[in-house]
Amino acid sequence: MQAGTNRVQKVGIAYEVEKKMEQNYDREEAAGTPKAVKEWMNAICQGEHDPIPIDADWKAFNTHLRDGVMICKLINKLLKADGKSPIQFQKKVMSPFVAMTNIENFNNGCVNYGLAKEFTFQSGDLWELRKGGFFNVLNCLHSLGFVANTKNFKPTYEGHISKVVDRE
């Protein structure tokens, strides 16, 4: 059974929030943010993790990161360059619990690196394979790239900040 298929459909405000987050992902995709994040992550993790296909859609991108291993490798590279201790993670993920622990350790590493806690995401945002939730993951990685740029980490993150006014 695929993640999310046994869930009750969202209604009312929860449905509206989920749709808004999906639209936000679509807007970022049109601005090139997922491509910039994939290129940056691939460059940092080159030789240590299978690359994310640049043309991968949100679902393939999400699935590639779902076990938390690549994002843990990413944050450890950033932490090491900043003179900080690496996070612990498990490379062989055999259960959702292990994946969610990896994801939580990644988030803690991000905060230790200097990312504001508000830019982290919940484990379920990555694990549950929902486009709206994955927007939070994308936003975290995008923001992490900008923090890395302020620390002169190479390779430089090439993403752009897109400003949007919500008129609803």
Interatomic CA distance for residues 30 and 130, integer angstroms: 18
Amino acid letter, 140: C
Residues of the chain with confidence (pLDDT) below 50: 1-4
Q: Helices then strands (H, E): number in the chain?
A: 7, 0
Interatomic CA distance for residues 134 and 22, integer angstroms: 9
Number of domains in the chain: 1
The range of the structural domain enclosing residue 71 comes to: 12-150
pLDDT digits (tens, 9 = 90+) for 45-72: 999 999 999 999 999 999 999 999 999 9
pLDDT at 21: 85
* Nearest partner of 145 among 18, 26, 32, 68, judged by Cα: 32
pLDDT at 13: 84
CA distances from 56 to 35, 63, 119 (A): 9, 10, 23
- Domain-embedded: residue 110: yes
- Domain-embedded: residue 1: no
- Domain-embedded: residue 157: no
- Domain-embedded: residue 126: yes
- Say which CATH number the domain at 37 has: 1.10.418.10
- Domain-embedded: residue 30: yes
pLDDT at 164: 55
pTM of the predicted structure, to 2 decimals:
0.89
- Domain-embedded: residue 3: no
- Domain-embedded: residue 86: yes
- Domain-embedded: residue 91: yes
pLDDT at 14: 78
